[in-house]
Structure 1
Amino acid sequence: MHGVIIGLANDQSLAWGCAQALRRQGATLALTYLNDRALPHVEPLAQSVEADIILPLDVSRADQMDALFDEVARRRGKLDFLLHSIAFAPKEDLQGRVVDSSPEGFAMAMDISCHSLIRLARLAEPLMREGGSILTMSFYGSEKVVPGYGLMGPVKAALESTMRYLAAELGPQHIRVNALSTGPVKTRAASGLSHFDALMERAAQDAPLHQLVTIEQVGEMAAFLLSDQARYVTGQTIYVDSGYNILG
Structure 2
Amino acid sequence: MNKLHPPDVAASRAAPAGPVITCELLTKRFGDFVAVNAISFEVAAGEIFGFLGANGAGKTTAMRMLCGLLGPTEGAATVAGFDVFRQPELIKQHIGYMSQKFSLYEDLTVGENIRFYGGVYGLKGAVIREKTTALLQRLGLEAERNTLVGSLPLGWKQKLAFSVALLHEPAVIFLDEPTGGVDPITRRQFWDLIYEAAAAGTTIFITTHYMDEAEYCDRVSIMVDGKIEALASPAGLKRQFGVATMDEVFLHLARGAKNTE
Q: TM-score range by the shorter chain?
A: 0.3 to 0.5
More strand by share: 2
More helix by share: 1
TM-score, normalised via structure 2 length: 0.32
TM-score, normalised via structure 1 length: 0.33
Q: Which has the larger radius of gyration?
A: 2
